[in-house]
Amino acid sequence: MSYLSLSNVTKQFGDTTVVDNFNLEIAKGEFVSFLGPSGCGKTTTLRMVAGFETPSSGNILLNGVDITHNAPNQRNVGMIFQSYALFPNMTVAQNIGFGLKVRKEADDVVKQRVSEMISLIHLEAHANKYPYQLSGGQQQRVSLARALAIRPQVLLLDEPLSALDAKIRVSLRSEIRSIQKTLGITAIFVTHDQEEALSISDRVVVMNAGEIEQVGTPFEIYNFPKTRFVANFVGSLNTAKAEILDPASGLLNMEGIQLQTDDGTKNRKKGDTVTFAIRPERFSFVSEGKKENVVEGRVVNITFLGSVVRIQLQIGKTNFNMDTFNRPSLELPKIGDSCQVSCSKKAVLILED
């Protein structure tokens, strides 16, 4: 049974459809990310769950109750903004207690919950400071505590880490994830950063131009992208076109070079053109002993990326990237050399368009 469900949710601003027929079921306690480029409708979808926008059509159910048309202050949903949105005239403790105060909770309940929340985010020493006296990361933790203090049914986070520097971004995201797990709270996390989405989510919803491209675990999204968009947006992928020679065995022909796949050619016909994808790290040198899909490539460029080395190879007429671990014993070819590389049948993914 799903806890939060969005069915056929569509949002139009004037003539433009910003969210198109969005369907998603989220289980209680699940951490789901919306991942997609800027302008694809992530914030709008989140704001419909919070009640700041009303869907043009479709329904939103929370714990079996239709909340589609409830005012924002009539839902029990916590929202975290990219800009923290702390009230500047209140201290940390007052900010955290705000939601309970306006709900007319007794003073001792407020006091108790506020101190609970302050220790949850480890800001005991800053309880009486004003937002302008805190760093960005501290402010965002206060805003997390403020949202959690009202014990919301769902926590919504709209790019909460985008305004922070890289180090704090990484530490705060694991803090958010661990607090979410401890409290068992259902959360939707919006981001345009694929690494962020993959690293903290139970499931990732990849969005493009108002539509869902793919929903899956980080593992599924990364290893088995269904569409070209997902393949390109998540990680870096080589894509090329090929003709199907034998649908039954998965034999492909890319400009005279034969490749084997074991991914979904059965419902296609001989002679169909398909787009396939191979992740750079799935290639290896033949000298390392692999024998599937052996092809010859000419080295076009070599780039050091820290722990990996990226080798650009021209295979047939197409350039492919190959990533290999950067270890001292690595014997690199030179630019202009020809070399034999291979990749397994499983690494050749057929994409829907």
Q: How far is CA 306 from the centre of its chain?
A: 24
Instruction: Answer yes or no whether residue 13 interacts with another protein by CB under 8 A.
Output: no
Compute CA distances 160 → 231, 245, 253, whole Å. Answer: 25, 48, 46
Residues forming beta bridges with residue 254, ordered by sequence position: 257
Binding characters for another protein, 117-136, by CB under 8 A (x = yes): -------------x-x----
Minimum CB distance to another protein smaller for 130 or for 224:
130
Which residue of 4, 22, 30, 43 would you call a contact of ligand ADP, by CB under 6 A? 43
Task: Give the separation between CA 72 and CA 60, rounded to whole angstroms.
Answer: 13
Spatial separation of the C-alpha atoms in residues 94 and 128, rounded to whole Å: 8
Per rule CB under 8 A, count of chain residues that contact another protein: 27
Pick one of 1, 15, 38, 289: the residue that binds ligand ADP (CB under 6 A): 38
Nearer to Mg ion, 33 or 43 (CB): 43
Residues 10-69 that bind Mg ion (CB under 5 A): 43
Segment contacting ligand ADP by CB under 6 A, of 41-49, 79-87, 149-157, 323-331: 41-49
Residues 6 or more apart in contact with residue 170 via CB below 8 angstroms: none
Q: 41 is in the binding site of which of ligand ADP, another protein, Mg ion, none (Cβ under 5 to 8 A by kind)?
A: ligand ADP
Q: Shortest Cβ distance from residue 67 to another protein (Å)?
A: 13
Q: Which of 5, 22, 32, 42 binds ligand ADP (CB under 6 A)?
A: 42
Q: In what order do the strands lie in the sheet with 349-351?
A: 257-260, 251-254, 238-246, 273-278, 349-351
276 binds another protein per the rule CB under 8 A: no
Q: Which does 67 bind (CB under 5 to 8 A by kind): ligand ADP, another protein, Mg ion, none?
A: none
Q: Which stretch binds another protein (CB under 8 A): 31-39, 142-150, 235-243, 287-295?
A: 142-150
Q: Choose the one of Mg ion, ligand ADP, another protein, none that binds residue 13, judging by a C-beta under 5 to 8 angstroms depending on kind.
A: ligand ADP
Q: Which residues of 169-194 are buried (b: 16+ CB within 10 A; e: fewer)?
A: beebbebbbebbeeeebbbbbbbbeb
Residue 226, SS3? coil
Q: Figure out which of the listed residues 103, 181, 241, 270 binds another protein, where binding follows CB under 8 A.
A: 103
What residues does 12 pair with on adjacent strands?
A: 17
For the chain, the first-to-last Cα distance in angstroms comes to 32
Q: What are phi and psi of 200, to 5 degrees?
A: -115, -5
Minimum distance from residue 43 beta carbon to Mg ion (Å): 3
Does the footprint of ligand ADP cover residue 52 (CB under 6 A)?
Answer: no
Please say which residue, 40 or 205, places its beta carbon nearer to ligand ADP.
40
Chain centroid to Cα 213, Å, comes to 12
Q: In whole angstroms, how large is the CA radius of gyration of the chain?
A: 25
Distance in Å, CB of 78 to ligand ADP, minimum: 18
Dihedrals φ, ψ of 330, to 5°? -65, 130
Give the whole-angstrom CA distance, residue 87 versus residue 185.
Answer: 24
The nearest distance, CB 211 to Mg ion, in angstroms, is 16
Q: Does 87 bind another protein (CB under 8 A)?
A: yes
Q: CB of 97: closest distance to ligand ADP in angstroms?
A: 30
Distance CA 270, CA 280 (A): 27
Which tokens sit at 297?
Answer: 């490539």
CB of 41 to ligand ADP, least distance (A): 4
Q: How many residues in total does the chain contain?
A: 353
Binding residues vs ligand ADP (CB under 6 A): 13, 18, 36, 38-44
- Positions in the binding site for another protein (CB under 8 A): 50-52, 71-73, 77-79, 81, 83, 85-89, 98-99, 101-103, 130, 132, 143, 146-147, 150
